[in-house]
């Protein structure tokens, strides 16, 4: 297979989680429009650039040693995990602002078959809370993974292929947690939002650390970390879907 063919395979495989979630949202009639989906993907892809800047910035100011075990831990948990999650936080913050600024978080009229009145449709979507923020962050994570895979694949196929699929799961799971952390700001103790953000950094760091440990067992553990983290995020979003369905049923009644 040619280099271009391998790159196309990389793009396809890294896009699979996003495609599956898009189909899931359409089947479930989740109030997440196509425009919101695309904007979330693009925001995630764009977060690659501030992540690169933050990684170089942290390394430049000497926040962690450049050699030895401490240097390795610093590069994994600060230079990579913290930098990427901070960049995701920045882009999601901008995205959430745009959603609210242009009314994209309002409840779509079609949710209740057009039965809601205009005032109800113009009100903020009650579902745009933790669950919908998690969905937005998860999709943004997928967008980051697709773009990162394309860049790394263009540079060196050997770097991206071993972690091609699991990296998408990992970024989606961490993105969901960052989204939830943003949704908690102003709605409760700040410590809760900070804790949720730090869990994303910790999961990301543990995943990357396991990948650099020699042996097959650490690699399997990394896959389990990514899969379990994404599963909990999906379950939270699914619970939000049930809440929306219950509200819609109440409104129809």
Concatenating the DSSP letter of every residue in 101-131 gives HTTTTBPPGGGGTT-S-HHHHHSBPTTTTHH
- How far apart, in whole angstroms, are the C-alpha atoms of residue 248 and residue 168? 32
pLDDT above 70 coverage of the chain, percent: 83
Single pTM value for the model: 0.86
Q: Please provide residue 96's backbone torsions phi and psi, each rounded to the nearest 5 degrees.
A: -65, -40
pLDDT tens digits for range 90-122: 999 999 999 988 877 655 444 444 444 444 444
What's the CA angle centered on 211, arms 193 and 58, to 5 degrees? 55
Write the Ramachandran bin of 114: left for phi over 0, alpha for psi from -120 to 50, otherwise beta. Answer: left
Domain ranges of the chain: 3-252
Q: Is the pLDDT of residue 85 over 80?
A: yes
pLDDT above 90 coverage of the chain, percent: 56
Q: Is the pLDDT of residue 2 over 60?
A: yes
pLDDT tens digits for range 115-169: 444 444 444 444 457 889 999 999 999 999 999 988 887 777 666 777 877 999 9
- How far apart, in whole angstroms, are the C-alpha atoms of residue 96 and residue 136? 9
């Amino acid at each position: 297979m040619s280099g271009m063919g391998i790159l196309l395979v990389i793009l396809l495989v890294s896009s699979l989680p996003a495609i599956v979630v898009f189909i899931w949202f359409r089947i479930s009639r989740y109030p997440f429009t196509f425009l919101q989906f695309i904007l979330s993907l693009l925001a995630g892809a764009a977060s690659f650039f501030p992540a690169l800047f933050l990684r170089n910035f942290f390394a430049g100011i000497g926040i962690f040693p450049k050699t030895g075990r401490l240097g390795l831990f610093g590069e994994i948990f600060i230079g990579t995990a913290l930098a990427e999650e901070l960049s995701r936080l920045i882009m999601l913050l901008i995205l959430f602002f745009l959603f609210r600024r242009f009314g994209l978080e309002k409840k779509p009229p079609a949710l209740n078959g057009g039965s809601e009145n205009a005032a109800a449709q113009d009100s903020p979507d009650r579902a745009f809370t933790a669950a919908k923020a998690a969905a937005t962050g998860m999709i943004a994570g997928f967008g980051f993974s697709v773009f990162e895979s394309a860049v790394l694949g263009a540079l060196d196929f050997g770097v991206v292929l071993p972690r091609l699929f699991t990296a998408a799961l990992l970024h989606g799971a961490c993105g969901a947690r960052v989204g939830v952390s943003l949704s908690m700001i102003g709605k409760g103790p700040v410590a809760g939002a900070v804790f949720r953000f730090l869990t994303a950094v910790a999961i990301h760091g543990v995943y990357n650390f396991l990948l650099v440990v020699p042996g097959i067992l650490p690699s399997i553990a990394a896959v389990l970390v990514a899969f379990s983290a994404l599963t909990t995020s999906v379950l939270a979003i699914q619970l939000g879907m049930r809440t929306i369905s219950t509200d819609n049923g109440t409104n129809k009644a």
